[in-house]
Structure 1
Amino acid sequence: MNFSACSIAKSADFSNEAGFSLLEMMLVITISSLLAAVFLQLLVDIYQQNDFFSLNNAWQLDAYLAVDFIADQIKSSKKVEIIDQHQLDIFSYYNEEYQWLKFNVYQSNGNKNLGRSIGGSDLNYKDFGRNLSLFDGIDDLSFEIVKPGLLKISLTVKEKMKSGIKKLTVSRLIKI
Structure 2
Amino acid sequence: MTATIVGVKPAKSPLERLLVDVQIRNDEKAPRWVLLPRYLPTRPGGIDKLEQLTAKSGATNVSLGRFLGTGGRYARLLAPGASITLRKLEAGWWRPESAKDVAFDVALANNVALGGEPMASWFDRDPTIQGTVEVEMENAKHTASHRAPQGKEVVVAITGATMTSIKLSPP
User: If each structure's strand is expressed as a fraction of its own residues, which one has the higher value?
Assistant: 2
User: If each structure's helix is expressed as a fraction of its own residues, which one has the higher value?
Assistant: 1
TM-score (norm 1): 0.25
TM-score (norm 2): 0.26
**Which protein is bigger by CA-based radius of gyration?**
1
